[in-house]
Structures are given as C-alpha cells and as structure tokens.
Amino acid sequence: MADNNEKNMFKFERKGLDFPFYNNIPKLSNLKWTILFLGFIATILFNFFLRPQSPHEITGLIYFLIPFSTFLYVANGKLGLICKKFQKKDVKFMIGIPFLYIICASLIGIILHYIGLTSNSNPAFGQLYSIIFWINYPFQIFGEELIKLIPFLIILFLVYKFTENRKIGIVIASLVSVLIFGLLHINSYGSIVHVIFIQGFCSLLFLYTYLKSKNIFISYIAHIVTDILIFIMGIFQGASFLFL
C-alpha cells in the first residue's frame, strides 16, 4: 500500500519525502527491528543506571554512540534515510522553533511554579566553563535527537502494521516518543511533572521539524540553538529549568 500520496500525509509534510522502515521502504528484517529496539533499551538503561556513575567526560559520547551505531547498522550505513538536503526555508525553523520552545516552556514553568511544583536546576549549568563539556555536547545532542527518533520509527511501524493508517501512527508515535524523551530527564530535574510537560511535550516542536523535513539535522540544529539561548538566559536570569 503506497503512502506517498497526498491523502496519507499531513499538509505540513514536504511532498516526496517519507519516513523509513514503517512501510517496508526499506524493509527491515525481524532481527534488525529487534536490534533497533535493543539499542534503544540499552540507551535507556545507560541513562538511568550507568550514566550517573560514569565519568562526565565520556557520558555524552556514549549517549551518542549507542543509538547512532544501532541505527547505522540497521540502516546499512544509509544516513540519508533520516538526513536530507537543507532548504532555504529550513532556516526559519532552526531559528524560530527555539524561540517558540522557550515561550512554551517558560509559560508552563511559570504555571507549575505558581501551583507550587518546583524542579532541580540542570547540572549542565555547572559545566558550562568546561572544555570537556563542549567537546561532548554536540555528540550528546545528536544522541538525544536519535533517542526521540528511534522510538518514533518503531511505534510508527507497529501502529501502521495493525491499522495501515499512517496519520494515526504519526500522532501516536510522536506523543509516546516525546513522553519517553521527557522521562529520560527525571534524574536531572527530579520532578516528573516538569519533565513530562517541559522537556517532554514542549519538544514536540523539535520533532515537528523532523516530521516536516524528514531531516534530523534540522531538529538537531534547532535543539542546539535552543540550548545556547537557554544557557545565556540561565547565566543571567536563572532559566535552567528549561534546558533540554
């Protein structure tokens, strides 16, 4: 069943581009689906159990290597499946989405603070003057984008397999993906409400850039721009709770 026709795509999606794997283009064997899932689980386990005890000099690199090597293997080295050519209109997303995220996260943060729900400051603010942090940082952020994308692709495949409805699959996969991504921050912030709504559902804005462009580098750059803006705000105004 072909899905590249307009009725199976959301209006915001770029025509002629699609997500890999879910409709067997390209087809993954059951073994490769299992490996992709296990790579995702390995990243989750590392995040919750090994990362807190690991030297901070290597945690960002490991957080990148696990999902990246897993995806690279199952995709037979074809990064073009999730990386597309940049277009001029992508610039507005890489610049505009960070500001939308900050507005969204700030409003939610203010509401949660007003009702008495507080969170910890992110420990990354204590590492901003470390060269090692900045060496690891680009790898860590790409790893974070992959850890949103991999569960999205798995869930999209499963929902589409049983419903053959691409749009429903995208909606369900997006919501579950950002929920998981938010919960991955619980060790840093200590508040499940904050991580679900701020680090989680606010990051739908970044996932949207991938859903539209099918280019993970757009969401990656938007993520980096957002963090840098928040670093600056945090230094001067204490906005550390916004950090992705």
CA-to-CA separations, 205 to 26, 40, 76, 78, 226, in angstroms, rounded: 27, 22, 29, 26, 11
Q: How far apart are CA 119 and CA 113, in angstroms?
A: 9
pLDDT score at 98: 94
| Residue 225 scores a pLDDT above 70 | yes
Which residues span the domain enclosing 212?
20-242
Cβ atoms of 56 and 132 within 8 Å: the answer is yes
8 within some domain? no
pLDDT score at 72: 97
Scan for tokens 């993954």, then name that residue: 28
Q: How far apart are CA 3 and CA 135, in angstroms?
A: 41
217 within some domain? yes
Longest Cα–Cα distance in the chain: 54
| Residue 197 scores a pLDDT above 60 | yes
| Residue 12 scores a pLDDT above 60 | yes
| Per-residue confidence band for 201, with pLDDT thresholds at 50, 70 and 90 | very high
Beta strands in the chain (DSSP E): none
Closest CA to 31 of 62, 70, 69: 70
3 within some domain? no
14 within some domain? no
| Residue 150 scores a pLDDT above 50 | yes
Compute the average pLDDT of residues 193-209.
94
For 163, the 3-state DSSP assignment is helix
Cβ atoms of 47 and 181 within 8 Å: the answer is no
Q: How far apart are CA 82 and CA 214, in angstroms?
A: 6
84 within some domain? yes
Closest CA to 22 of 153, 190, 122, 147: 153
Compute the average pLDDT of residues 117-121.
79
How many percent of the chain have pLDDT more than 90? Answer: 67
2 within some domain? no
pLDDT score at 6: 67
**Total domains in the fold of the chain:** 1
pLDDT score at 2: 42
pLDDT score at 20: 97
pLDDT score at 4: 47
Compute the average pLDDT of residues 93-109.
92
Taken in order 73, 74, 79, 83, the sign of the CA dihedral is: negative
Residue 93: CB partners within 8 Å, gap ≥ 6? 209, 212, 213, 218, 222
Q: How far apart are CA 228 and CA 7, in angstroms?
A: 39
| Residue 170 scores a pLDDT above 50 | yes
Compute the average pLDDT of residues 46-65.
82
Compute the average pLDDT of residues 112-121.
84
pLDDT score at 3: 44
- Name the residue with higher pLDDT: 36 or 232: 36
182 within some domain? yes
Average pLDDT across the chain, whole number: 89
6 within some domain? no
Compute the average pLDDT of residues 25-42.
97
Q: What angle do CA 64, 192, 156 make, to 5 degrees?
A: 55
Beta-carbon count within 10 A of 13 CB: 17
